[in-house]
Chain A
Amino acid sequence: MPDQDKYNEADPLSEAGTGEEEMPSAVESRTFDLGTMEGQSLIKAERLADHPETPAIEDRVVARSLWQDAWRDLRRNPIFIISGLLIIFLVVMAIWPGLFTSTDPLKCDLSKSQQGAESGHPFGFDTQGCDVYSRTVHGARASITVGVCATAGAALTGTVLGGLAGFFGGWLDSVVSRIADIFFGIPILLGGLVFLSVIPSQSIWIVVAFIVVLGWPQLARIGRGAVITAKQQDYVTAARALGAGNARLMLRHILPNAVAPIIVVATIALGTYIALEATLSFLGVGLKPPTVSWGIDISSAADTFRNAPHMLLYPAGALSLTVLAFIMLGDAVRDALDPKLR
């Protein structure tokens, strides 16, 4: 093969010239050069002499990995920045509600029942005459705790169990898939009524645990499917042929290629879980007063929406904003992990 063929497939997208002049540092390490290379090597050697201060390629190109590239990408992505700031804002609100309001959400005045906004009470009052603004700020803690913790728990359990089932297959797959089917078969509201009514504690963590137990099979199925698809690709076989162990195959090759659908479903599930907490609270088995949560407020305001829409709009708006922020974040992370979209 004539050596003009070197780099002949250089693609037009190349921003740096595919150029011969970038080559000199490799000249001395060439052990594979055949006779036909001599002419070119000479030319390169001349160029090398012309630019003796040209640093070696090895020093000029900094190697990056997928995660470094993804992070570089994310930092410049306005959607990621906006959703990140929004989430930080909501988390701060959940941890220190006192920073945003000094009104006690449980101090109510029945004489102001369902009244609109007035000075010092920008969101108006609910049926009990409590301040809606204060309740919306204080409700963030319960709702975000339930949403984030339940999603994280379900995604982690589901991905690990589903991923292992998909990767190893065989009896492990059968066992995990059948257990997932059993939990899938439990109607979530009926299950909630039964489980949560027999447990005396009304702690927020009981609700989180219940949602994780009923939510993981959905993510396990998606994770299992994505892992099976990725596992069958030639690059996994190639890594195995190199001697890669199971841990490397799963973490380096399969997980990055299987994580996209999991991120999408998990971010959508986050909103569903906050709404589910609201439904359970509405049914009287979820969080109970004096706990303040968006879910409780949304369900109690639903009946009087026509008379006093502000009671519903503010906590529901906060919930929508939270879900939107997490979906945007998930979208940005998923896109950053896909080099083809860069």
Chain B
Amino acid sequence: MVSNGSSALGAAVPEEIAFAQKVAPGEPILEVRDLVKHFPLTKGVVFRKLVGAVKAVDGVSFDLIQGETLGIVGESGCGKSTLAKVLMNLEPATSGSVKYKGEEISRLSGAALKAVRRNIQMVFQDPYTSLNPRMTVGDIIGEPYEIHPEVAPKGERRRAVQDLLDVVGLNPEYINRYPHQFSGGQRQRIGIARGLALKPEIIICDEPVSALDVSVQAQVINLLDRLQKDFELSYMFIAHDLSIVRHISDRVGVMYLGKMVEIGSDLEIYDHATHPYTQALLSAVPVPDPSQREARDRIVLEGDVPSPANPPSGCRFRTRCWKAQEKCTLEEPLLIVRPGLQRLAAHDSACHFAEEREVELTAEERQQRPADE
């Protein structure tokens, strides 16, 4: 079962054996390099003419470290979900590479792809459409075992399904119920149980709590947190809620218009952001205390997000950036550590003029700040 992809890379190791090796904590389990996904724009009915492409994901690189949670934030339409779909091989990548445990997986098909799917699973955004309304919960969670019969022998499947229900905090007697008999939070737990069934190593969570009530969000987040510890999972956690991402993530990547603009540890991003877009994003996080709300320094961006079919030259954020200069039009900023930045500010940022923003600190923040560093 040696795939063409792996033999071309010179690693003639059967997929199953290669994937069975554990990755040590702290080592990258998923390496994404220059990943590009363009959706072609065509004109005409019979004779389709290519008139352009929506550059949904345009050259994204990052590593997912074994056992960590990598948060991906960005506003609607910035390519977060497309990135998840390409990583899951649900959409073919236009170019670039995705390596899982050193094996290229972005061009796999057939049995090799099926083997990878066992190890990378996904939790979907909308628990109301991600569960088949005409399947019982037992069938939904048991389906992974029907597709991959080697994971659980036939006689043990129902027990495995009931154990999974228990693990996610649902009554194991619910196997004969249908999705509509559950609340949103319970449905999302069912979706998580399905994702766990194959004992994957990576779970890609595509906005797993944005469709839930705030009170239920915390329960699901805490469940994900607990499962990560118990099953040594690595999460890629996509969301647009910055506080939730901060709560669950070890590292955070910020996306804008198909590009990763800044990536670093949660402290580096949340307290020492150097990219103007991240700074603007963070300044928009609601502050629950009205007296502090007055004091904070909000950055209000002008204009709309440009069309991903025709992004600006150079830096994509320059059309809305208060720091933009001619260099930003001509030269695309790389995602690197700029010289001259100190301590936590020294992390990857795609801005020519990356620097920490001087913010009027509130008394409370001033107290926290030294402790953080």
Contacts and interface: CB of A to CB of B under 8 A. Distances in A.
Contacts of A235: 129-133
A199 interface: no
Interface string A1-27: 100011111110110101000110010
Nearest to B220: A1
Interface in A217-259: 233-235, 237-244, 248, 252-253, 256-257
Interface string A55-97: 0011011111110010000000000000000000000000000
A244 B147 contact: yes
Contacts of B186: 9, 11
A238 B135 contact: no
A190 interface: no
Nearest to A15: B173
A59 to B, nearest CB: 10
A71 B97 CA distance: 49
A262 to B, nearest CB: 14
Nearest to B117: A243
B180 A340 contact: yes
Interface centre among B132, B139, B170, B191 (most CB of A within 10 A): B132
Contacts, number: 150
Of the candidates B135, B163, B178, the one having the most CB atoms from chain A within 10 angstroms of its own CB is: B135
B90 A241 contact: yes
B121 A11 contact: no
A26 B171 contact: no
B124 A7 contact: no
Interface in B292-350: none
B198 interface: yes
A340 B147 contact: no
Given A5-B219, A31-B230, A237-B90, A339 B134 contact: yes
Contacts of A238: 122, 124, 130-131, 191, 194
A57 B158 CA distance: 11
Nearest to A64: B176
B143 interface: yes
A257 B131 CA distance: 12
B171 A7 contact: yes
Nearest to A26: B166
Given A31-B230, A64-B176, A241-B90, A234 B181 contact: no
A31 B226 CA distance: 12
B107 interface: no
Given A18-B171, A32-B226, A242 B124 contact: no
Interface of A: 1, 5-11, 13-14, 16, 18, 22-23, 26, 29-32, 34, 57-58, 60-66, 69, 233-235, 237-244, 248, 252-253, 256-257, 337-340, 342
Given A242-B117, A244-B143, 13 more contacts: A5-B219, A5-B222, A11-B183, A26-B162, A57-B173, A61-B162, A65-B135, A66-B139, A69-B136, A235-B131, A242-B121, A253-B132, A257-B132
18 contacts: A1-B226, A5-B219, A7-B171, A9-B182, A18-B171, A23-B166, A32-B226, A58-B162, A63-B142, A69-B176, A233-B132, A235-B131, A239-B132, A242-B143, A242-B148, A243-B118, A243-B147, A248-B147
Interface of B: 88, 90, 113-114, 117-118, 121-122, 124-126, 129-136, 138-139, 142-144, 146-148, 158-159, 161-163, 166-167, 169-173, 175-176, 178, 180-183, 185-186, 191, 194, 198, 216, 218-219, 222-223, 225-227, 230-231
